[in-house]
Structure 1
Amino acid sequence: MHPCLSEFPSNNFYKGTLQNGVTINERQSTGIDFPWHVQIATCFYVQMGQEEISAIETSYLNRTVAANVEKIETTFLKSVVPSQIGVMTSYEGQRAYIVNYMQEMVASVDSFQGREKDYIILSCVRSNEHQVG
């Protein structure tokens, strides 16, 4: 884990004893044209888009957000290999839509618990001004 990401849980839950397997210098991304937060390699991209009920009746999808996931992944693919990228969403409808939308490009949109990825794209789906969730 990037040391900047583990700093909060280490200090707040483990009295500063949590250790990383890598240093900040080992986790520096170079050659990727992306608007990273200066101190930690994190970017929050707020996307307004209308969610909708998916074919999976108890789930949601957001086509606008999915299109932006594809744009972000395409940016990463100019500099890194696909196996370094993971796409996560808590909505099965969004996962199915993204997989269908990007077919071969995003084979990583699935469960990958226990596997490591260098870059994670998190699709929150419900990102409109009326139903933040």
Structure 2
Amino acid sequence: MNKNLNTNIKSKNFYKNLNTFVKWSTLIIAIITLILVILASLIHYGVIFEDTTNVLQSTQQDMMVGESTITDKGFAYLGAGVAAVGFLGAGVGQGYAAGRAAEAVGRNPEAEGKIRNMMIIGSAIAESSALYSLVIAILLIFVA
């Protein structure tokens, strides 16, 4: 009896540590994704890695002609960036669900099969919203 109790305590600690790991790894992945999206948009709009003489010449020409530099393509890229927020939401939601599932299995190891099935269904639903966001972002970038 004592050996069985000791095994349950070890499994609870394992799932508690797994819960913490899932939360932190999800947060780190979300931050890295956000940094990459910001960096890609800065590179695309020429804020980074562009010759400054061309920027000054084009700015002077725009001021002389009186044209605006805002285009429909720019709004499409902005919309794609907003749609990319769906990726972050799905990732955070899946991480939270996995952490709670690990906590539930730690509390009740006998229900592991049922908890796993429900977590897989929930992850599939969350992943479908991320895929919809991805499709919308790709359409805005390449079609609009």
TM-score range (shorter-chain normalised) is: under 0.3
Structure number with the higher helix fraction is 2
In our comparison, the structure showing a higher alpha carbon Rg is 2
Using the size of structure 2 for normalisation, the TM-score is 0.22
Using the size of structure 1 for normalisation, the TM-score is 0.23
Question: Relative CO higher for 1 or 2, CA cutoff 8 Å, sep ≥ 6?
Answer: 2
